[in-house]
Structure 1
Amino acid sequence: MNVKVLCVGKIKEKFYRDAIDEYSKRLSKYCSLKVVEVADEKTSENASDNEIDIVKDKEGERILKNITDKDFVIALAILGKQMDSVAFSKYIEDLGIQGRSDLVFVIGGSLGLSDKVLSRSDYQISFSKMTFPHQLMRVILLEQIYRGMRIMKNEPYHK
């Protein structure tokens, strides 16, 4: 299985990079993983709704340039479906059985994802109704993909 994590912005904090590196290393046993970062847009504190849409659209165009027609796109979105780790693992496993071996998980910037990216997505998931920094979300996503792979292989995992 080929997994791409497509995200807006670079990770500056060493502790996040270390965690991402650790889960990337662990995942190498189960899948081919690629993390692709696209540039984020500067946004003023008091941005209007129109300015926010412009920022999300610019970031969205950068995201869409990194998605191919054969990719199965899973967007992380607050209004997406919530599931537990076992259901997430089963969902990924079922995609593989259906021949969907190129998965792209998309994490937006601090303002979220553009409507065009959400429209292109084949599925939307939410890890919580809470808001997380997109840098931390990258770590959480990689941990859950890793956990899902271990569940698929009937390997022990922390419940």
Structure 2
Amino acid sequence: MKICLVVIGKTDANYFSEAIREYQNRLVHYIPFEMQVIPDIKNVKNLSENQQKEKEGELILKSLQAGDYLVLLDEKGKEFTSMQFASYLEKKMNTVSRRLVFVIGGPYGFSEAVYQAASEKVSLSKMTFSHQMIRLIFVEQIYRAMTILNNEPYHHE
């Protein structure tokens, strides 16, 4: 199984990019991981929120491959502790045959078509974070889960 994180737009802040790269480099020792960046939608000033969600949704759905298991990072999703998330990933590693794809949507969330295509929704917090921050937090949590599953000292209870 491979984990893929799909995001809308590039990470602008260098300090986030560097930190994300650090955790990506750490992750490759445990599991195949990739971050797929969908370019920002052009001329968003001329689009309604719904039109923007629809356009982003089309690009998200195009990025999927046959057999992908789609999980949306969504404020209404299931919340986990880090230990629970590690168990969740372990179960997925045993049941998902191809790619476990997590998606961070655009500023207005997901289109209805993306919600329909998703198997699950996961929330990282009841709080709202910038899309740049969520990328870093989520990649770190995947790394943390891998260290938990391998009984390594990164995570402390």
Q: Give yes or no for contact 1:95–1:101 (8 Å, CA) kept in 2.
A: no
Following superposition, the deviation at residue 99 of structure 1 comes to 4.2
Q: Which runs of 5+ in 1 are unaligned?
A: none
1:8-47 map, 5 Å: 8-41=8-41, 42-44=43-45
Q: Which runs of 5+ in 2 are unaligned?
A: none
| Match for residue 90 of structure 1 among 75, 87, 92 | 87
Following superposition, the deviation at residue 157 of structure 1 comes to 2.2
Report the counterpart of residue 127 of structure 2 in structure 1.
130
Distance, in Å, in 2 between the alignment partners of 1:58 and 1:13 is 24
Question: In the comparison of the two structures, how many residue pairs are matched?
Answer: 155
TM-score (norm 2): 0.92
Identity %: 38
Distance, in Å, in 2 between the alignment partners of 1:107 and 1:91 is 18
Distance, in Å, in 1 between the alignment partners of 2:19 and 2:109 is 23
| Match for residue 54 of structure 2 among 53, 57, 68 | 57
Q: Give yes or no for contact 2:148–2:155 (8 Å, CA) kept in 1.
A: no
Once superposed, what is the RMSD of the aligned Cα atoms?
Answer: 1.6
Distance, in Å, in 2 between the alignment partners of 1:150 and 1:121 is 27
Query: SS at the partner of 1:135?
Result: helix
TM-score (norm 1): 0.91
Following superposition, the deviation at residue 58 of structure 1 comes to 0.2
